[in-house]
Structure formats: C-alpha cells, structure tokens
C-alpha cells in the first residue's frame, strides 16, 4: 500500500507513530480525498482478528450537515448517560456538552464508523484493533484523529442507522474522526506501566 503524503512528510517507524499519535480536536476545513480515506481503511483491515473472522465494516461520513446532525443528536443522549453514571460514582463532568455551539465532531470533515455484526465474543476487540491501525497510519500520514465514543449510543439508534446506511444486523462500535490538524496537539503525560506481576 502506497500512502499519500498529507501535511508533513511521512516515514515514521511504528514506535515513532505510536509516540506521535494524539487525540486531535481541531481541524482545518480541508476535506480528505477518497484515496486517502481508502488508505486508512486498508490499514484498518490489516489488524489482528480472532479466528480470522475479519468482522469489521465501515461507514464514512463526509457530509457536513449529517455530521452536525450526529453531533446535535448525540449531545443530550451522552449527557444523560454521564449523569446516570455520575450517580453511580463516576466523577467526570461533561456539562460543556450541553452548550448549543459545542461540536462533538470538533470540525472534522470525515467520520469513520467501524461496525460489525455481534457474531462472536471477540468482534468488539477486533474492531478496536482496526481502529488503532487506522489512527496510527493517519498519524504517520500527518493527519489527526480522535475517537468519538460519546456518539456510539446515538449511532446505534435505528433511525440514525438507517440514515447512515448501517444495516440493522450491524452495530456501530468505533467512531473515529480524521482530518488535517489545525494546530499542533501537545502530548499529555501518561502513567508508567502498572505491572501487576512479572513471573520469570
């Protein structure tokens, strides 16, 4: 697979791409070409897959009005989910999601939704492995990406699935926005690996 060059030159090795990947939440208005998105999907399907099931299927949304509708529908649903979880001990607040001008899609022009039929216990894991492949290759290409987990419940509403072309037997699992970063996203600190045991 030949990767198109977007933004800065590509050529990172795997560890460089892993260390350079960020959750990007500010994008330029430039729309990704179809061949670039296709390259990301080709990377996604090279992920590990249990029993070689390859369960993933993809929906690509680049319609700005549809992206806005997804954001507008998802915000109140997610806020209600957070309030429910907060009543059970979750401490995060997402009240900024209630603001009318808050955009869950963060101005991105491309949303890739990784879907699958719930046919085995490993389907969800397979799809998230595919998502990581997609995001690492996006980083290697100079693109930014971010998981938008707050839209999952909305994406699985029957009416929304119909509008997006997701068949009833499929479940939306991993929604990822991709685009050209508007600015540099700084690294956030990470905890050292917590090793519970190391038996030699």
Q: Per-residue confidence at 31, pLDDT binned at 50, 70, 90?
A: very high
pTM of the model: 0.91
pLDDT above 70: percentage of residues in the chain: 91
pLDDT of res. 91: 61
Other beta carbons within 10 Å of 144 = 27
Q: Structural domain boundaries of the chain? A: 25-87+102-179
CB distance 109 to 145 below 8 Å = no
Please, which residues have CB within 8 angstroms of residue 68's CB and are 6 or more apart in sequence?
Answer: 103, 105
pLDDT of res. 82: 86
Nearest CA-CA partner of 59 in 51, 69, 67: 67
Q: pLDDT of 103-142, one tens digit each? A: 999 999 999 999 999 999 999 999 999 999 999 999 999 9
Q: pLDDT of 142-162, one tens digit each? A: 999 999 999 999 999 999 999
Q: Per-residue confidence at 100, pLDDT binned at 50, 70, 90?
A: confident
Q: Is the pLDDT of residue 6 over 60?
A: no
Q: Per-residue confidence at 3, pLDDT binned at 50, 70, 90?
A: very low
For range 95-105, the mean pLDDT: 87
Q: Per-residue confidence at 7, pLDDT binned at 50, 70, 90?
A: very low
Architecture of domain 25-87+102-179: 3-Layer(aba) Sandwich (3.40)
């Amino acid at each position: 697979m030949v990767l198109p060059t977007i933004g800065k030159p590509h050529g990172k090795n795997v560890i460089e791409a892993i260390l350079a990947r960020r959750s990007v939440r500010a994008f330029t208005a430039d729309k990704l070409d179809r061949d670039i998105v296709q390259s990301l999907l080709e990377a996604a399907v090279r992920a590990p897959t249990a029993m070689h099931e390859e369960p993933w299927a993809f929906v690509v949304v680049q319609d700005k009005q549809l992206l806005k509708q997804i954001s507008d529908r998802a915000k109140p649903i997610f806020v209600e989910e957070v309030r429910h979880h907060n009543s059970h001990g979750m401490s995060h607040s997402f009240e900024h999601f209630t603001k009318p001008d808050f955009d869950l899609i963060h101005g991105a022009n491309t949303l890739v939704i990784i879907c699958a039929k719930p046919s085995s216990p490993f389907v969800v894991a397979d799809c998230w492995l595919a998502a990581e492949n997609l995001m690492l290759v996006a980083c290697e290409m100079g693109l930014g990406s971010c998981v938008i987990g707050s839209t999952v419940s909305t994406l699985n509403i029957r009416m929304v699935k119909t509008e997006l072309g997701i068949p009833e037997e499929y479940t939306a699992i991993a929604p990822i926005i991709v685009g050209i970063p508007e600015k540099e996203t700084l690294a956030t600190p990470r905890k050292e690996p917590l090793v519970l045991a190391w038996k030699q």
